[in-house]
């Protein structure tokens, strides 16, 4: 992302640090699920959950050796877990983690946008009410038309923002899925 054109919150969602954190969360959740099913020991799930954040520099160094981003991540995470680390990535494919993580990141970005749309709707709604009696020239095809109010124009924008919020919410729900089937 180009920093000067990015909201800091959105840049954080798409950052390398967030991606690594999401990968680690997915790996921890899967080991916890294996433990809940009695496949992995509970101690392994606890060890993976308690592992420190994967060091980005160690991950990059391992990736340079392995030539595979997620395999390098798994190696570094498993090593940091110690006993129980053998359960990291158990039964998973790279796509299980990468596709699920992309869904999480897209949902995070969508949630940020939904919040911004809610704020915009509220400003437009408030200003539409404030200017419900403020006259203005209506326009059609770039030409003057019947008089209208500035509030009515703002209300139209507010309801369009509301419709787009609903559509984006549906899209976020659609991408916020994962697969961990191996």
76 and 120 in a single domain? The answer is no
Q: Does 1 reside within a domain? A: no
CATH number at residue 72: 1.10.275.10
Q: How many domains does the chain have?
A: 2
| pLDDT value, residue 181 | 84
Q: What tens-digit pLDDT sequence spans the chain (182 residues)?
A: 788 899 999 999 999 999 999 999 999 999 999 999 999 999 999 999 999 999 999 999 999 999 999 999 999 999 999 999 999 999 999 999 999 999 999 999 999 999 999 999 999 999 999 999 999 999 999 899 999 999 999 999 999 999 999 999 999 999 998 888 87
Final residue before a domain boundary, out of 56, 74, 91: 91
Q: Which of 71, 90, 82, 22 shows the shortest CA–CA distance to 47?
A: 82
Contact by Cβ (8 Å): 138, 65: no
Residue 44 corresponds to which tokens in the numbers above?
């392994």
Q: Does 160 reside within a domain? A: yes
* Alpha carbon distance 112, 1 (integer Å): 16
Residue 163 structural domain? 93-182
72 and 102 in a single domain? The answer is no
179 and 116 in a single domain? The answer is yes
Q: Note the pTM of the prediction, 2 decimals.
A: 0.88
């Amino acid at each position: 992302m180009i920093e000067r054109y990015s909201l800091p919150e959105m840049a954080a969602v798409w950052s390398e640090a967030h991606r690594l954190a999401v990968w680690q969360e997915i790996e921890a959740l899967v080991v916890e699920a294996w433990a809940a099913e009695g496949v992995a020991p509970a101690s392994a799930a606890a060890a993976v959950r308690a592992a420190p954040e994967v060091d980005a520099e160690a991950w990059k160094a391992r990736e340079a050796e392995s030539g595979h981003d997620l395999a390098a991540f798994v190696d570094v995470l498993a090593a940091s877990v110690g006993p129980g680390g053998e359960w990291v990535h158990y039964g998973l494919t790279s796509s299980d983690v990468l596709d699920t993580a992309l869904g999480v990141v897209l949902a995070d970005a969508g949630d940020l946008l939904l919040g911004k749309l809610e704020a915009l709707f509220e400003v437009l709604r408030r200003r539409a009410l404030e200017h419900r009696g403020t006259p203005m020239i209506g326009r059609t095809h770039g030409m003057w038309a019947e008089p209208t109010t500035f509030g009515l124009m703002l209300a139209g924008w507010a309801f369009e923002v509301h419709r787009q919020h609903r559509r984006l919410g549906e899209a976020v729900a659609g991408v916020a899925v994962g697969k961990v089937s191996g």
